[in-house]
Structure 1
Amino acid sequence: MTTESAPRLLDDAALELSSVVANNAMNRGRGLSGVNSYARELGFDPYRRLAQRLRADPDATVTWIDVCCGEGRALLEAEERFAQEFPSADVTLIGIDLVGFFRARPRTDRLRLITASATTWAPDRPADLVTCVHGLHYIGDKLAVLTAMAGWVAPGGRCAADFDPEEIRRADGSVAGPAVLAALRASGMTFDRRTHRLRGEGPRSPRFPAAYLGADDTAGPGYTGQPSVRSYYAW
């Protein structure tokens, strides 16, 4: 049954040129802690989590990958704090953003700020922390990116992201959220409906019986109040 008029579906190349995807009102300038911060959005402080591991094992290697990092402010702040507290530790910080308007250049080789699409980029090693703060709202094939992010996590690591199941649609426009959440939970990931926080501990392999059809950037505001992108799949 058709629940809405057929949307204009864009492929990744067209979607990435959309002004909605380049929205600078979401994650562009969010810091590590405080009112407008990663700690508030994710429900934990990324720096404290990684620092705790280094305190327990000074010889540990820690890696944080932040997808859709915006200006990279949180990573730049983390870079500075690691330099002060753990100057000799093996720390890798990686920020990926499609727009690439970073607030500053990295101060050390611990930090890499990369202009790339989250749909095609991949790390060269697993990470202790993989995050995406309000970035999935602007990605076309959200399920592919979620699957990739969950698989980038090292044993004992964590994947955490803001996620809106309402943005996942079937070909007829109906919401596919329940099927998506069932697949995520079957893989061992958790989702908090109140906060819209998705989390996975350790590497996970969610499987979705769906084929990506394209995305609609004219759907209007999501739960954040900002315009977002609906992603359509054949199930």
Structure 2
Amino acid sequence: MPPASATPPSAGEEEALRLLLPDDALRSLAVVANNTMNRERGLHGVNSYTRELGFDPVTHLSGRSASPSWLDLCSGEGRALRAAAAWLPASAVLTGVDLVGPLDPAPRPRGLELVTASVTDWEAPRAYDLITCVHGLHYLGDQLRMLTRAASWLAPDGLLAAHFDPDSVRRTDGRPASRPVLAALRAAGFTYVPRHHRLTLRGPRPVRLPFRYAGADPAAGPNYTGQPAVASYYTQVDN
């Protein structure tokens, strides 16, 4: 988020802010380096990307171009990407990025790259027709910055789809920030479906949100998925 003016924090807020962690301090924590999320989730079936996203990524990508591209953030083992490689053209570009990375040493299909890196630092080398983050934002500190970066990586008419928990974004005084954050995201072109906690965006664009990241609380406890998650704290500023 760009620097902007904001009301100075109160004494109580300053004390709370001292307990929050920056993103680089989160990565070594078990709640962030989640070694189970998306480890077994495949492309189709009960525990699948198709079920979680509400659409079949292969069907979405098929026929778009001779070389369709899919970026999956917080991809775990990359099982969905591996399965998609069998259905898509050999020229397809499939990229998975995960902090823990794939643990399965099985050979990777042509066109599949599984990157072990923090998605908060990694930079996309190209634009993608589809960008997904299946329950991955729950483990990031600055979730809003990740969304703005991903929005700029979309190909023309590309689709970004991510799970987002509005209850995980809070003001520095501890109050919920869900309403202003969702309002800002919708104003920027995002669509949010509360029932499925799905956030989508069609087409690349620069996104500026009126919030400055203050830090994260890795001890926030379970979110709607039932798994421990991170709470992200923001100060609302003039955009």
TM-score (norm 2): 0.88
Structure 2 distance, partners of 1:79, 1:120, is 26
Matched, 1:75 2:84: no
Residue 117 of structure 1 corresponds to which residue in structure 2?
A: 118
Structure 1 moving runs of 4+ over 4 Å: none
Pairing of 1:212-231 with structure 2 (within 5 A): 212-231=213-232
AA of the residue aligned to 2:69: T
Quickly say closer, same or farther: Cα 1:106–1:121, change in 2 above 3 A: farther
The DSSP-based 3-state class of the residue aligned with 1:218 is strand
The alpha-carbon deviation at position 105 of structure 1 amounts to 4.3
Pairing of 1:37-76 with structure 2 (within 5 A): 37-54=48-65, 60-76=66-82
TM-score (norm 1): 0.89
User: Contact 1:106–1:112 at 8 Å: present in 2 too?
Assistant: no
Identity percentage over the alignment? 54
The alpha-carbon deviation at position 104 of structure 1 amounts to 4.0
Structure 2 distance, partners of 1:117, 1:140, is 11
The DSSP-based 3-state class of the residue aligned with 1:184 is helix
User: Contact 1:189–1:204 at 8 Å: present in 2 too?
Assistant: no
Residue 151 of structure 2 corresponds to which residue in structure 1?
A: 150
Residue 16 of structure 1 corresponds to which residue in structure 2?
A: 27
AA of the residue aligned to 1:221: P
Structure 2 distance, partners of 1:108, 1:35, is 24
Quickly say closer, same or farther: Cα 1:106–1:75, change in 2 above 3 A: farther
Residue 57 of structure 1 corresponds to which residue in structure 2?
A: none
Structure 2 distance, partners of 1:188, 1:62, is 23
Structure 2 distance, partners of 1:102, 1:206, is 34
User: Contact 2:35–2:100 at 8 Å: present in 1 too?
Assistant: no
16, 21, 31: which one aligns with 1:6: 16
Unaligned stretches of 5+ residues in structure 2: 1-9
Unaligned stretches of 5+ residues in structure 1: 55-59
